[in-house]
Every structure is written in structure tokens, then in C-alpha cells.
Structure 1
Amino acid sequence: MKNENGFTLIEMMIVMLIISVLLIITIPNVTKHSANINNKGCQAFVDMVQAQVQSYQIENNKFPTVSDLKEAKYINNDKCPDGTKVVTIDSNGIVSTDPPMQSTP
């Protein structure tokens, strides 16, 4: 008898089957959570801009517009990190996004 150290075709196919099942299970979960991650990143950006609005208001005694914040270098851009939502500031200094963010479960 020869002592061959290797895998048989059946063993390799079983390993490929197990890897395929694991990929089928994990890929939908990863894609489902990416939207949640984007929303959390956008919410963090909105919170940061809200803090900058308060800072600008303390220093200048008025509520700023987005362009005021950009000109004074409080913020660099007016879009969320995913680039799909634009930050807006109302007349009371409340920051929101346009279109509004979806609530996540």
C-alpha cells in the first residue's frame, strides 16, 4: 500500500459545500446591516453638526445656515458620509437631513 497524504475528491467537495453554506448564511446578514451602519454614521454626523451649530450660536449670537458653517470652517461638507443625505438647519438651529433618515429597528 502506498501512503498518499492528500484529500480525496469527496472530502474536497464536502469542504466546498460547508464553505458555500457559510457564505450563503453570512452574505445577506452583512448586506442587511450595511444600511444600519450608514444610518448610524449619518446620525453621528448630524449630531456633530448640531454641536457645531451650538458653538457657532454661542460665538456669534445667531443661528447659522449650512453655508455659514462652511464659510467659518466649522464643517467641511453638508452631506452624510454615505453621500446620500444633505444636512439642513432650520430657523431654530435644529439639524436634520434631506431626505429624512429612516428609523432603524
Structure 2
Amino acid sequence: MQAWRDERGFTLIEMLVVLFIIGVVIAIALPNLISAGEKAQQRACAASRKMIGAQADNYFLEMGKYPATVAALTEAQYLRSTPTCPAGGKYTIDTGAVSEKRVVCTKHPHKE
């Protein structure tokens, strides 16, 4: 029996405690990581909407009307390529809207 006491290692209880602590840390951190990813997508989408809106305004200044679609901006070479929303949404141009809300994304609508 003396040999058992001299062996080094972890008991089952110690291993379960460590696994429980790791589980708690993951449960706390995971929602924050998912939330951070969604916020990054929303910010990237907002930046794209602003860029499209600015180029739509430039188009208006030169052509006298707003483009019907975002693809029309690309065809007229106001954009190098048609921007895509990181979440897979589609951008549309609302010619009757005020300048800040002229470009709309199907996945990230403007918040009031």
C-alpha cells in the first residue's frame, strides 16, 4: 500500500474539477466571440453602404440622376467591383431616401 501513496498523478476528482472550470470559461467566452463577429460584420456592411452611397452621389452629380442598381455603379466604373455584404446580404439603392439611408442591405437594415 505504501507504493500507491508515492505515485504522482491526478485523481479523478481533480480532473473533473479542471474540466468543469474549462467548461465554465468556454461558456462565458463563446457568446462574446460570436457577438464580436456579428458586430464586425455589421461595421463592415455599414462601411460598404457608406462607400456605395458616396459613389451614388458622385454618379448623381455627373449624370443628374441616381443609379438604378449597385451594378450600374460598377458598370459606370464608379466602383471597381460590386461590394458584397459579409453576411451574404444584397445592397440596393433607394433613390428617394435621404443620403445616409440611401443604400440598404437585406441582412443589416439601418437602425433608428
How does the TM-score come out when normalised to structure 1?
0.70
Q: Does 1:39 align with 2:42?
A: yes
Q: 1:23 to 1:36 in 2, by over 3 A?
A: same
Amino acid at match of 2:33: V
- Residue of structure 1 equivalent to 2:72: 68
Alignment of 1:6-17 (within 5 A): 6-17=9-20
Matched residue of 1:37: which SS?
A: helix
Gaps of 5+ in 2: none
Deviation, structure 1 residue 43: 0.5
Amino acid at match of 2:56: V
Contact 1:64/1:93 (8 A) holds in 2: no
Gaps of 5+ in 1: none
Matched residue of 1:83: which SS?
A: coil
How does the TM-score come out when normalised to structure 2?
0.66
Aligned-residue Cα RMSD (Å) equals 3.0
Contact 1:63/1:92 (8 A) holds in 2: no
Residues 71-104 of structure 1, C-alpha deviation per residue, up to 9 Å, x if partnerless? 0331422542221242314157843214461539
Deviation, structure 1 residue 41: 1.6
Question: d(CA) in 2 for partners of 1:54 and 1:92?
Answer: 12
Q: 1:79 to 1:89 in 2, by over 3 A?
A: farther
Contact 1:53/1:63 (8 A) holds in 2: no
Question: d(CA) in 2 for partners of 1:38 and 1:7?
Answer: 44
Larger radius of gyration: 2
Amino acid at match of 2:64: K
